[in-house]
Amino acid sequence: MSAPASIDADLLVHSAQVCTVPPSAAVDPEPSAIRPAGPQRGSQLGDLGIIADGAVAIRDGRIVALGTAGDLRARVSAAAEINAAGKVVTPGLVDPHTHLPWVGDRADEFEMRVAGASYMEIMAAGGGIMSTVRAVRDASTDELVEANLPRLDRLMAHGTTTLEMKTGYGLTTADELKQLEAIHRLDQTHPMDVAATFLGAHAVPAEYQGRTDAYVDLVVEEMLPAAAQWSQRKQRPLFCDVFCEAGVFDVDQSRRILVQARELGFQLKIHADEFEGLGGTALACELGAVSADHLVTTPEEDIAALGRCQTVAVSLPGTPFGLGHTGRAYTPARSIMAAGGALALATDLNPGTCWCESMQFVIALATRYLHLTPAQALAAATLNAACAIGRGDSAGTLAAGRPADLLILNIPDYRHLGYRFGTNLVETVIKAGQVVVGPG
Ligand code: NIG
Ligand code: FE
């Protein structure tokens, strides 16, 4: 009997509780079949694929072997080792919905909201999204990049290794393209992996007040073709998103924008049911959107639709928390799971409703207000979150051959995620095989 082949590695992380978060079904219908890179749907959510005393070997930025510490320490010859005994290893967290990049802040509006004004009242009075639009219009691409790099550092220090960013604070063709350019440069400058979304229909800008259809014309006839050309020139695929909400864009206007976007080659997303359930989630399913996001006031029939379509339901519990909403303020996550839907988590990071740079805090909220177990919340913040930005085959799962994006958490058991909040539990962040955040 010959000895098992030895594996060369740059780095071996060993002796941790390793959560691999495998794609798709907890029980393979055919054990021989290769698991498709799909989300964990419905009651399957929460399969962490734990290796109790596990190890991960990394070479050239990718995972080359995964297994028990005993097995890998015998077979792997590594240039460097990290002994993670008593700690937890997970995939890098994925944040599939942020409103980066922006400049400025809205601390004044936060104070008004605390004193009783509602988010939609402030928006109707010309504040809200429009205040950030004014700031972003005044900023250069360089200023946008500069202001947002430190945010990416903080996100990464809290465990996020892949995220989505949107436009939507420009609302003119030139200013939306400027935001896309900033997103592109942030992705090129920072180790974070970035998925980009065009959200020209984030708000009706002041100069189109009372003429929403005319603004939709501008989005459809000018902005979308310009963004599609930019996307081709940069070889960077784009999502198209719409804020489908009472007083913003209704279902018909959202449909017009998304149908045109799909024809131009965009994949689709939607902001639906944040305040009123208009039917945006059913629209997302009908159009084959990759995700439908927010989903607080989602009608029963739209929840049922999520169980029958591929659209990932992205919950953003930091937003109702950030708005101080109580009562039925959070995504009906258990109903979505009962219907067989695929549930993911994201921050919604933005200067208005939710300035939260920590997916760990989102997991803590999801355990309490969405009633997810820590295992369900972790799968929703990794694999399913990756699927919500079409990256289920490259992010959110630890497996041989995949990019080595992983975290070492200074906790003895994954259930401390969510249980503990307000302190950063991430000790080490490894992005594409490189230690980008280390202890101390
Ligand atoms: O997802 N609801 C629309 N957009 C953001 C808020 C953006 C802002 O207020 O600047 C959200 O909550
Ligand atoms: Fe949002």
Contacts 24+ apart (CB under 8 A), 36-41: 37/387, 37/392, 37/393, 37/397, 38/342, 38/387, 38/392, 39/312, 39/342, 39/344, 39/383, 39/384, 39/387, 39/388, 39/392, 40/342, 40/379, 40/383, 40/384, 41/340, 41/341, 41/342
Q: Which two tokens stand for residue 139?
A: 């900023």
Residue 261 is assigned to a structural domain of this protein: yes
300 half-sphere exposure, CB direction, 13 A CA radius? 0
Q: What is the pLDDT of residues 160-193, one digit of tens each?
A: 999 999 999 999 999 999 999 999 999 999 999 9
Distances, alpha carbon 299 to alpha carbons 243, 272, 274, 326, 342, in Å? 17, 11, 12, 19, 17
CA of 348 to the centre of ligand 2 (A): 5
CA of 20 to the centre of ligand 2 (A): 29
* DSSP per-residue string spanning 114-177: HTT--HHHHHHTT-THHHHHHHHHHS-HHHHHHHHHHHHHHHHHTTEEEEEEE--S--SHHHHH
Q: What is the pLDDT of residues 308-334, one digit of tens each?
A: 999 999 999 999 999 999 989 999 999
75 and 124 both lie in a single domain: no
Mutation pick for ligand 1 pocket among 99, 110, 112, 132 (CB with most ligand atoms within 8 Å): 99
Q: Quick one: CA dihedral 420, 291, 128, 94, positive or negative?
A: positive
CA of 319 to the centre of ligand 2 (A): 8
The yes-or-no verdict on residue 31 having pLDDT over 70 is: no
109 and 224 both lie in a single domain: yes
139 and 188 both lie in a single domain: yes
Q: What is the pLDDT of residue 27?
A: 46
Ligand closest to 354 (CA) is 1
Q: Ion ligand 2 — residues with CB under 5 Å?
A: 348
The yes-or-no verdict on residue 221 having pLDDT over 90 is: yes
200 and 107 both lie in a single domain: yes
Residue 193 maps to which CATH number? 3.20.20.140
Cα distance between residue 8 and residue 243, in whole Å: 49
Mutation pick for ligand 1 pocket among 100, 121, 129 (CB with most ligand atoms within 8 Å): 129
Residues whose beta carbon lies within 6 Å of some atom of ligand 1 = 99, 128-129, 132, 243, 271, 274, 319, 348, 350-353
Q: What is the pLDDT of residue 440?
A: 65
Residue 187 is assigned to a structural domain of this protein: yes
Q: What is the pLDDT of residue 327?
A: 87
The yes-or-no verdict on residue 299 having pLDDT over 50 is: yes
- Virtual torsion, Cα 398, 402, 407, 412, nearest 10 deg: 20
Ligand closest to 292 (CA) is 2
The residue nearest atom 9 of ligand 1, judged by CA position, is 352
Which residue, 367, 387, 407, sits at the end of a domain?
387
65 and 112 both lie in a single domain: no
3-state helix, strand, coil in the chain (%, to 5): 35, 25, 40
374 and 404 both lie in a single domain: no
Position in ligand 1 atom list of the atom nearest CA 294: 1
How are strands ordered across the β-sheet holding 238-242? 93-95, 160-166, 193-201, 238-242, 267-272, 291-294, 312-315, 342-345
Residue labelled with tokens 């008004």: 112
CA of 419 to the centre of ligand 1 (A): 28
345 three-state secondary structure: strand
Ligand closest to 241 (CA) is 2
Q: Which residues of 104-121 are buried (b: 16+ CB within 10 A; e: fewer)?
A: eebeebbebbeeeeebbe
372 and 421 both lie in a single domain: no
Q: What is the pLDDT of residues 368-388, one digit of tens each?
A: 999 999 999 999 999 999 999
Position in ligand 1 atom list of the atom nearest CA 203: 3
Which is more confidently placed, 125 or 25?
A: 125
Residue 23 is assigned to a structural domain of this protein: yes
Q: What is the pLDDT of residue 24?
A: 77
Position in ligand 1 atom list of the atom nearest CA 274: 2
Residue 65 maps to which CATH number? 2.30.40.10
Residue 1 is assigned to a structural domain of this protein: no
Ligand closest to 95 (CA) is 2
The yes-or-no verdict on residue 30 having pLDDT over 60 is: no
146 and 257 both lie in a single domain: yes
Contact in structure between 359 and 158 (CB atoms under 8 Å): yes
Q: What is the pLDDT of residue 2?
A: 54
Q: What is the pLDDT of residue 26?
A: 40
Mean pLDDT within 195-208: 97
Residue 171 is assigned to a structural domain of this protein: yes
267-272/434-437 β-pairing: unpaired
CA of 352 to the centre of ligand 1 (A): 6
Contact in structure between 418 and 364 (CB atoms under 8 Å): yes
Which residue, 368, 387, 406, sits at the end of a domain?
387
Taking each helix axis from N to C terminus, what angle separates 141-157 and 173-189, rounded to the nearest 10 degrees? 50
322 three-state secondary structure: helix
Q: Which two tokens stand for residue 317?
A: 């519990």
83 and 98 both lie in a single domain: no
The yes-or-no verdict on residue 29 having pLDDT over 60 is: no
What single-letter amino acid sits at 57?
A
Mean pLDDT within 95-114: 97
CA of 164 to the centre of ligand 1 (A): 14
Residue labelled with tokens 């024809």: 263
CA of 294 to the centre of ligand 2 (A): 7
Residue 322 is assigned to a structural domain of this protein: yes
Number of domains in the chain: 2
What single-letter amino acid sits at 328?
R
Position in ligand 1 atom list of the atom nearest CA 354: 12
Ligand closest to 244 (CA) is 1
Neighbouring C-beta atoms of residue 417, cutoff 10 Å: 27
Supply the mean pLDDT for the chain. Answer: 95
Q: Provide the β-strand partners of residue 18.
A: 51, 89
Contact in structure between 316 and 65 (CB atoms under 8 Å): no
Which residue, 362, 387, 412, sits at the end of a domain?
387
Residue 2 is assigned to a structural domain of this protein: no
Mutation pick for ligand 1 pocket among 112, 171, 350 (CB with most ligand atoms within 8 Å): 350
Q: What is the pLDDT of residues 254-285, one digit of tens each?
A: 999 999 999 999 999 999 999 999 999 999 99
Q: What is the pLDDT of residue 237?
A: 98
365 and 293 both lie in a single domain: yes
CA of 221 to the centre of ligand 1 (A): 24
Q: What is the pLDDT of residue 124?
A: 86
180 and 53 both lie in a single domain: no
Which among 168, 155, 172, 181 has a CA at the least distance from the CA of 128?
168
Element (H, E) at 188: helix 173-189
Task: Residue count of the chain, please give it.
Answer: 440
211 and 307 both lie in a single domain: yes
Instruction: Assign 5 a pLDDT band (cuts: 50, 70, 90).
Output: low
The residue nearest atom 12 of ligand 1, judged by CA position, is 353
Domain range for 303 is 93-387
